[in-house]
Structure 1
Amino acid sequence: MSEQAQCTIPGIAIVPAIKRRGRVAALGLAEGEAIKAERLSVLELTHEGIPGDRHAGFLRPADVRVPWFKRGEAIQNERQISIVSMEELAVIAANLGIERVEPEWLGANLTVEGLPDFSFIPRGTRLFFPSGAVLAVTDQNAPCRIAGAEVERNLPGSDGLALRFAAAAKRLRGVVAYVDRPGIIAAGEEFSVRVPEQWVWRG
């Protein structure tokens, strides 16, 4: 995302909208309370998310990520889909000194490749898939000890990894999104990325 910023308003730098392409490396469904996802070859998306996934639904309970709401209060669910990248999983593994981190260990629904610095894709970015399905990115996904514990559980002899995971995966844990348009996503297919105009408002 190296396009030169253009300034149209004094004091405000505006980066033009850009397009990119990526590929679906893996898909997953996270059922029940466990974070670990089951790998699938195809995912069906509805406006509520992925049927059967623990993050599906129009609403979700407020948690520590949104301290401006009362804990447990029903709020709009902008975290229906968890997305990570193969490139950043490799960096996390290197930071931890382990061979690999599999996306299903993190409960990822969609794993992409071919998009450097994927976790920094801004809010409002949309991913367009061949079936017509569209995902709208809402935020970075912060790493936590629960995900780290799942990685540790899948790597015998890696005691203490859960405590190191959050630091090793900071700003590398991918993003979350909601379903903007229903459809099908298939492993191996290419998709397009549309990043909106970007600017920093300092108030």
Structure 2
Amino acid sequence: MVAVARDDGHRFSKPTTAEIRLLAGLGVEGDAHCGATVKHRSRVRVDPTQPNLRQVHLFAAEMLDALACEGFDLAPGRLGENVTTRGIDLLGLPVGTRLAFPSGALVEITGLRNPCQQIEDFRSGLLDRVLERLAGGGLVRKAGIMGVVVAGGTIRPGDAITVTLPAGPHRPLERV
């Protein structure tokens, strides 16, 4: 793992920190999106009783590298992620994949982050890089993945992440 981040406010970027504490069923302690029910403001307006399937946002450092090659200077946490990974094909994981950390913390993947206008407002042209529009009208979302905390624990940059796939058949990630 490359970096961890949290922010107690609903700001786009999150400052990185030396560690974050994951709370079972809630998310990242001290983060604005921590809670059993949905915390994203647009979703709260629709139905504040929805379960929070977006407790932890993970993003691949390889995508940051690719964006840097296109002129976007982005550091971990700048796109609002809580965990920046390296060496895991996050977007290729199926729903229900579990990510285990040395502290015993366990995150279960629920789906894809749905890139929104805030990404474009943050950096002009960035939305087109993380939301690919296919010829048939389909979309490929590349803005990271979301998960829920199954078991709590403290995680830190440098921690190894053990990936456990769910029993098949696997369901591909969809936006949550």
TM-score w.r.t. the length of structure 2 is 0.82
SS of residue paired to 1:146: helix
Instruction: Give 1:89 deviation, angstroms.
Output: 1.9
CA distance in 1, matches of 2:91, 2:171: 18
In the alignment, structure 1 residue 87 sits paired with structure 2 residue 62: yes
Counterpart of 1:5? none
1:181–1:57 distance in 2 versus 1, CA, 3 Å: same
More displaced 10-residue stretch of structure 1: 128-137 or 83-92: 83-92
Counterpart of 2:3? 26
Decide which of 99, 105, 115 is 1:127's aligned counterpart: 99
The structure where strand makes up a greater share of residues is: 1
In the alignment, structure 1 residue 36 sits paired with structure 2 residue 8: no
Q: Which amino acid aligns with 1:168?
A: R
Counterpart of 1:113? 86
Instruction: Give 1:74 deviation, angstroms.
Output: 1.3
For the Cα contact (< 8 Å) 1:141–1:174, is it kept in 2? yes
- What is the count of residue pairs matched by the alignment? 161
Counterpart of 1:46? 23
Percent same amino acid at aligned positions?
Answer: 26
Alignment gaps of 5+ in structure 1: 1-23, 153-160
CA distance in 2, matches of 1:54, 1:121: 26
Decide which of 14, 36, 50 is 1:58's aligned counterpart: 36
Instruction: Please tell me the root mean square deviation across aligned C-alpha atoms, in Å.
Output: 2.3
Instruction: Give 1:93 deviation, angstroms.
Output: 3.6
1:1-203 correspondence runs (5 A)? 24-47=1-24, 48-60=26-38, 71-94=46-69, 97-116=70-89, 118-150=90-122, 152=123, 161=124, 164-170=125-131, 171-196=141-166, 197-199=168-170
